[in-house]
Chains A and B, each alone.
Chain A
Amino acid sequence: MRLAHHLAVASDWIRGDCVEATEFPDLAQRYMVMAVPKTVVNDRVSFEGAVPEAQFVDAVLRAVGEPAPNG
């Protein structure tokens, strides 16, 4: 979560939401949250677990259609 908020501060284009899954079961169901943390970017890219910064940025850029350097 920490990363999402730092990215939000870094870019005016980014908004970072921390969502408490048990309080919002409708969202948890919509995004099929089975394990936490689960990160969803623009409803297009998602991943489970904590990942290193570079990988997190890869996911963000992939969600807006920019290819990540490692695929």
Chain B
Amino acid sequence: MAILTERDRTAVRGELAKLAGPVKLIVFSTQLDASEYCVETERLVREVAECSDQVTVEILNLHIDRERAEAYGVDRVPAIVVEGARDYGIRFFGIPMGYEFTNLIDSMVTASSGTPALSAETLERLAGLKERVHIQVFSTPT
């Protein structure tokens, strides 16, 4: 059964029309325990990709594609890497449903252009960064 309703798909198609370039959704999953979360995440990502020609999907296995997982810093599943012209460091762990689904679509639009919607002051303050920053935002499905 589809996760996205026809109404959802229409909305997603509208949002993804804003994509400025190709976007790749890399899903890390695992078939060993075939968790429902992984199955659902794969399905959701494929349904999103059906809404735009600019979106491609790659499904990787955490246990088999270890080098890729390590390169992306992924150590748990389900995980989604949202990649534009390059990997900007956008990750989703767990199924992005509810409010996080909106964020998934927003992150795809941002990654497609490589242009963040941030103030000039923020960009100036970030320009001085010389250390790795790992931001984790915890949410719950709403």
Q: With A and B bound together, what is the CA distance between A8 and B73 in angstroms?
A: 14
Q: With A and B bound together, what is the CA distance between A61 and B94 in angstroms?
A: 27
Q: With A and B bound together, what is the CA distance between A11 and B116 in angstroms?
A: 10
On whether A6 and B117 interact (CB within 8 A), knowing A21-B140, A22-B140, the answer reads: yes
Interface residues of B in 68-126 (CB under 8 A from A): 73, 76, 78, 82, 84, 88-96, 99-100, 103, 106-107, 110-111, 114-119, 121-123, 125-126
* Interface contact B118-A7, CB-CB below 8 Å: yes
Checking B91, B129, B130 against A18 with a beta-carbon cut-off of 8 angstroms, the contacting residue is B91
Residue of chain A at shortest CB distance from B79: A17
Q: With A and B bound together, what is the CA distance between A41 and B136 in angstroms?
A: 6
Q: With A and B bound together, what is the CA distance between A43 and B133 in angstroms?
A: 10
* Interface contact B138-A21, CB-CB below 8 Å: yes
* Interface contact A9-B122, CB-CB below 8 Å: no
Highest count of chain B CB atoms <10 Å: which of A2, A27, A31, A60:
A2
Residue of chain B at shortest CB distance from A41: B135
B interface, how many residues as a size bin? 35 or more
Q: At the interface, is chain A mostly helix, strand, loop or mixed?
A: mixed
Q: At the interface, is chain B mostly helix, strand, loop or mixed?
A: mixed
Q: With A and B bound together, what is the CA distance between A7 and B99 in angstroms?
A: 19
A interface, how many residues as a size bin? 35 or more
* Interface contact A14-B89, CB-CB below 8 Å: yes
* Interface contact A17-B136, CB-CB below 8 Å: yes
Q: With A and B bound together, what is the CA distance between A7 and B118 in angstroms?
A: 8
Checking A9, A20, A33, A64 against B133 with a beta-carbon cut-off of 8 angstroms, the contacting residue is A64
On whether A10 and B123 interact (CB within 8 A), knowing A17-B91, A18-B93, the answer reads: yes
Checking B37, B106, B132 against A23 with a beta-carbon cut-off of 8 angstroms, the contacting residue is B37
Which residues in A have some Cβ–Cβ distance to B below 8 Å? 1-2, 4-24, 27-28, 31, 33, 36-43, 53-54, 57, 60-61, 63-66
9 inter-chain pairs at a CB distance below 8 angstroms, sorted by A residue, are A2-B106, A4-B135, A5-B103, A9-B114, A10-B118, A11-B129, A24-B94, A31-B138, A61-B125
